[in-house]
Chains A and B, each alone.
Chain A
Amino acid sequence: MTRERGDILKDLMDGVFLMNEELVIKAANEIVAAGYDAYDAINNGLIAGMNQAGVLFDKEEYFVPELLICSDAMYAGIEILRPHLKVSDAREKHKVVIGVVEGDTHDIGKNLVKIMMDAAGFEVHDLGRNVPLASFVEKAKEVGAKLICLSTLMTTTMDGMSTVIEMLKEEGIRDAYKVIIGGGPISQAFASKIGADGYADNAAGAIRLANNLLVKAAA
């Protein structure tokens, strides 16, 4: 017997939020078998669950391990549902380029921001860690991203962030992009000093900032 759409969505959401990957897989297969809309299931099930996890992260009830396992569950569900998306589901998303600046290989913070941005509906182009500074600008131009996110955990590589901003200025395209920065040694004062468009001190804050800079600006 086929269950109601709402009941299955609740399982998708709870499965992500409560870190129960098996429940997510079962519910995602159920969506496919019943012929329910995959796009709806991703948005109102999986991503809704990830956003709930994000709220708890913000409140310091969930921490990095919990968030990583929630995201594993979310991606397991997306994997099953993606082949069933309709062409009409493809809509323009805000594009973002993200990476850890050259000289630094610590990427756990960047990965969290990426996960939360995925869940918040951004199209994220992840350059990884230890990224040559010019690559941020090149990639943003290539994919038409309007937002560049730079992360570092190390004071030795902080200056690379201002170099990226300088590169944009030199090419006369600074105004075409928003640049936001984050990571251990970074502060709002440092962001202001180098002329970045914003600073966030955790993943949830980065999403709010991205929304303010891109979504609200576009509205």
Chain B
Amino acid sequence: MNTNVTIPADTQTSLERVMCYLKGEKPQRIACFPLILNHAARVLGVPVGVYNRDGKAMGNSHVAAWKRYGHDIILIFSTTSTLAEAMGTKMKFFDEDAPQIDEPFIKQHSDIAKVKVPDFSKDGRLPVYMEATEICVKEVGSQVVVSTVFGGPLTTAAALYPVELLTRDMIKNPEWVHELLEICTQAGIKFIDEVLKRGALPFIVEPIGSGSLVSPRHFHEFVAPYLKRLSDHIHKNGGGFPAGLHICGKTAPNWKSMLEAEFDIWSLDAVDLGEAKKAVGHRVALVGNVVPANLLKNTAEEIDAEARGICEKMGDMAGFILASGCEVPINTPPENVDALINAARKYGRFDQ
């Protein structure tokens, strides 16, 4: 570790820190959201395959991870396809990895008639997510924000119908795509209700809306309007909760269209966060963006330097939350997660 700077002690709980952002006040230091998802299983010491299918294991993993690291948000999550899975897509499970799509539910366009909003008490692994959410809220919800993460409408659609066909249909068969997105949006609204009911924050990931896959024009047509319905629903029913959105990969070409979705928090991945601040920093709180592969491969000193560079780019750091750009890789060395959070303690101070 960099021994030139001592690590100041925290004077606020994670929850108090994050509440400062919501009230527009300056916290003692910036918050830190390492996107600890499947990695939580490593902290409790259960196989990732168990974490993914057992609500108690998933919830206890996140409680253990939070107690170990003290990060500022718990993110209940296994894959971006969980809603689609509950709607009929078959997944393949692994002992030491997150599940992957095995067989999309929709084989031909007419199958759309069979796609329904799922039942959260029994479909797919939604009960696993809900149980994990309840455990975290009960155990540590008074000290840290508990958030449950689900795929946005386009991401869910792309898990129900192969992404290569879906993206072609955006041009060749747009009405059908809109019909599918409508069902996926209704499923998302239900997800929001179920998570809010349990006292947690719904958080939306829309990786298929990445700028590598979807143009600004298509984002405007197929992504933003549906995401906006989700953010509206959170704003209306969330009791003051903000609407948070994560999009992986490159997003810069889509920032203008992304604003249309009216989210309060953007978690960004492979972008220049300084540029993002200039472009949209007055409208959204930015979360990011240490390179996930670096967390896996680099040393703690390198992570410290990378995080420091990002903090410097963020200038006054108003509204900024230091984070990993995307999921903390499952086998990330714990000292690298520590290095990331310590960087927020060292370089993200408002009390000096």
- Give residues in A with beta carbon < 8 Å to B: 19, 60-66, 68-69, 72, 103, 105, 108-109, 111, 155-156, 158, 184-187, 190, 193, 202
When the two chains form their complex, are residues B296 and A64 in contact, meaning their CB atoms are under 8 A apart? no
When the two chains form their complex, are residues A68 and B167 in contact, meaning their CB atoms are under 8 A apart? yes
Q: Which of A68, A109, A111, A187 contacts B168 (CB 8 A)?
A: A68
Q: Which of A66, A105, A156 contacts B331 (CB 8 A)?
A: A156
CB distance from B164 to the nearest CB of A (A): 6
Q: Which of B171, B248, B270, B327 contacts A66 (CB 8 A)?
A: B171
Closest 4 CB pairs of A and B: A155-B329, A65-B167, A185-B293, A63-B215
CB distance from B155 to the nearest CB of A (A): 13
Q: Which of A60, A184, A190 contacts B297 (CB 8 A)?
A: A190
Q: How far is the CA of A184 from the CA of B247 in the complex (A)?
A: 13
B196-223 interface (Cβ within 8 A of A): 211-215, 218
Q: How far is the CA of A69 from the CA of B253 in the complex (A)?
A: 21
Q: How far is the CA of A61 from the CA of B248 in the complex (A)?
A: 20
Question: When each residue 285-319 of chain B gets 1 if its CB lies under 8 Å from chain A and 0 otherwise, what string results?
Answer: 00000011100110000000000000000000000
Most chain B beta-carbon contacts within 10 A, residue among A60, A158, A186, A202:
A60
Q: How far is the CA of A103 from the CA of B330 in the complex (A)?
A: 14
Question: When each residue 128-159 of chain B gets 1 if its CB lies under 8 Å from chain A and 0 otherwise, what string results?
Answer: 00000000000000000000000000000000
- Chain A residues lying within 8 Å of B167, measured Cβ to Cβ, are 64-65, 68
When the two chains form their complex, are residues A108 and B213 in contact, meaning their CB atoms are under 8 A apart? yes
Q: How far is the CA of A156 from the CA of B100 in the complex (A)?
A: 13
Given known A65-B168, A69-B168, A69-B172, contact A187–B291 (CB-CB < 8 A): yes
Question: When each residue 318-352 of chain B gets 1 if its CB lies under 8 Å from chain A and 0 otherwise, what string results?
Answer: 00000000110111000000000000000000000
Q: How far is the CA of A186 from the CA of B291 in the complex (A)?
A: 10
Q: How far is the CA of A215 from the CA of B155 in the complex (A)?
A: 39
- Chain B residues lying within 8 Å of A64, measured Cβ to Cβ, are 167, 212-214
In this complex, what residue of B is CB-closest to A130? B100
Q: Which of B97, B172, B253 contacts A60 (CB 8 A)?
A: B253
| B280 on the A face (CB < 8 A) | no
5 CB-based A-B contacts, threshold 8 Å: A63-B212, A63-B213, A63-B218, A184-B248, A190-B297
- Chain B residues lying within 8 Å of A105, measured Cβ to Cβ, are 100-101
| B127 on the A face (CB < 8 A) | no
Q: How far is the CA of A62 from the CA of B215 in the complex (A)?
A: 7
Q: A60-B253, A190-B297 are in contact. List 9 more A-B contacts (CB 8 A).
A: A19-B171, A63-B211, A63-B215, A65-B170, A103-B97, A109-B212, A155-B293, A184-B270, A184-B326
Q: How far is the CA of A158 from the CA of B97 in the complex (A)?
A: 13
- Chain A residues lying within 8 Å of B326, measured Cβ to Cβ, are 184
When the two chains form their complex, are residues B215 and A69 in contact, meaning their CB atoms are under 8 A apart? no
Q: Which of B97, B164, B296, B329 contacts A111 (CB 8 A)?
A: B164
| B163 on the A face (CB < 8 A) | yes
CB distance from B76 to the nearest CB of A (A): 20
B106-120 interface (Cβ within 8 A of A): none
Instruction: Number of B interface residues at 8 Å Cβ cutoff, please give it.
Output: 30
CB distance from A80 to the nearest CB of B (A): 20
When the two chains form their complex, are residues A193 and B297 in contact, meaning their CB atoms are under 8 A apart? yes
Q: How far is the CA of A185 from the CA of B168 in the complex (A)?
A: 25
| B47 on the A face (CB < 8 A) | no
CB distance from A63 to the nearest CB of B (A): 4
| B225 on the A face (CB < 8 A) | no
- Chain A residues lying within 8 Å of B297, measured Cβ to Cβ, are 158, 190, 193
When the two chains form their complex, are residues B163 and A156 in contact, meaning their CB atoms are under 8 A apart? no
Q: How far is the CA of A202 from the CA of B212 in the complex (A)?
A: 9
- Chain B residues lying within 8 Å of A156, measured Cβ to Cβ, are 97, 329-331
- Chain B residues lying within 8 Å of A158, measured Cβ to Cβ, are 293, 296-297
| B70 on the A face (CB < 8 A) | no
Q: How far is the CA of A109 from the CA of B215 in the complex (A)?
A: 16
When the two chains form their complex, are residues B214 and A185 in contact, meaning their CB atoms are under 8 A apart? no
Q: How far is the CA of A158 from the CA of B332 in the complex (A)?
A: 13
- Chain B residues lying within 8 Å of A111, measured Cβ to Cβ, are 164
| B274 on the A face (CB < 8 A) | no
| B49 on the A face (CB < 8 A) | no
In this complex, what residue of A is CB-closest to B214? A63
In this complex, what residue of B is CB-closest to A60? B253
CB distance from A186 to the nearest CB of B (A): 7
Q: Which of A61, A62, A103, A187 contacts B293 (CB 8 A)?
A: A187
CB distance from B257 to the nearest CB of A (A): 12
| B249 on the A face (CB < 8 A) | yes
Q: Which of A184, A190, A193 contacts B249 (CB 8 A)?
A: A184
In this complex, what residue of B is CB-closest to A63? B215
- Chain A residues lying within 8 Å of B327, measured Cβ to Cβ, are 155
- Chain A residues lying within 8 Å of B163, measured Cβ to Cβ, are 108
CB distance from B78 to the nearest CB of A (A): 14
- Chain A residues lying within 8 Å of B164, measured Cβ to Cβ, are 68, 108, 111
CB distance from A4 to the nearest CB of B (A): 31
CB distance from A136 to the nearest CB of B (A): 20
When the two chains form their complex, are residues B329 and A190 in contact, meaning their CB atoms are under 8 A apart? no
- Chain B residues lying within 8 Å of A103, measured Cβ to Cβ, are 97
CB distance from A18 to the nearest CB of B (A): 11
